[in-house]
């Protein structure tokens, strides 16, 4: 999933998509949140592959998202991150439920 979102973020950095086009899609929101919620995993991947630029487009997309949200909500970056961290369990649960459809138990 992160690889797809990195490619999506590249469309913004290459100016193939405008900020308006990115933020008017659910994909832009997902990309920003996936980056934020996976920052630790991304740091581990960067260390493993010895590549500090791994997922750099997503990092840039996250910074743009944060700037926009801070301005619109009139909160500090720290407050935004705190709010998003509170919503992480619900976000991840919803994503798992979408990806892994619940299969009802077999009846005997």
Q: What is the pLDDT along the chain (108 residues), one digit of tens a residue?
A: 889 999 999 999 999 999 999 998 899 999 999 999 999 999 999 999 999 998 999 999 999 999 999 999 999 999 999 999 999 999 989 888 877 666 555 665
**Do the domain assignments include residue 32?**
yes
Spatial separation of the C-alpha atoms in residues 43 and 22, rounded to whole Å: 24
Residue 42 tokens read as 């991304």
Give me the helix-helix angle, 56-73 and 77-99, nearest 10°.
120
pTM: 0.82
Indicate whether 105 belongs to any domain. no
| Residue 104 counted as domain residue | no
**Within-domain flag for 106:** no
Q: How far, in Å, CA of 52 to CA of 55, rounded?
A: 8
Count the domains in the chain: 1
User: Which structural domain, as residue segments, surrounds residue 39?
Assistant: 2-98
């Amino acid at each position: 999933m992160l690889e797809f979102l990195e490619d999506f973020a590249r469309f913004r950095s290459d100016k193939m998509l405008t900020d308006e086009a990115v933020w008017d899609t659910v994909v832009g929101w997902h990309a920003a949140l996936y980056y934020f919620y996976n920052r630790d995993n991304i740091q581990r991947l960067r260390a493993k592959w010895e590549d500090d630029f791994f997922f750099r487009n997503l990092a840039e997309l996250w910074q743009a998202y944060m700037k926009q949200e801070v301005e619109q909500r009139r909160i500090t970056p720290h407050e935004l991150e705190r709010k998003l961290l509170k919503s992480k369990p619900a976000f991840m649960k919803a994503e798992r439920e979408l990806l892994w459809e619940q299969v009802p138990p077999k009846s005997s």
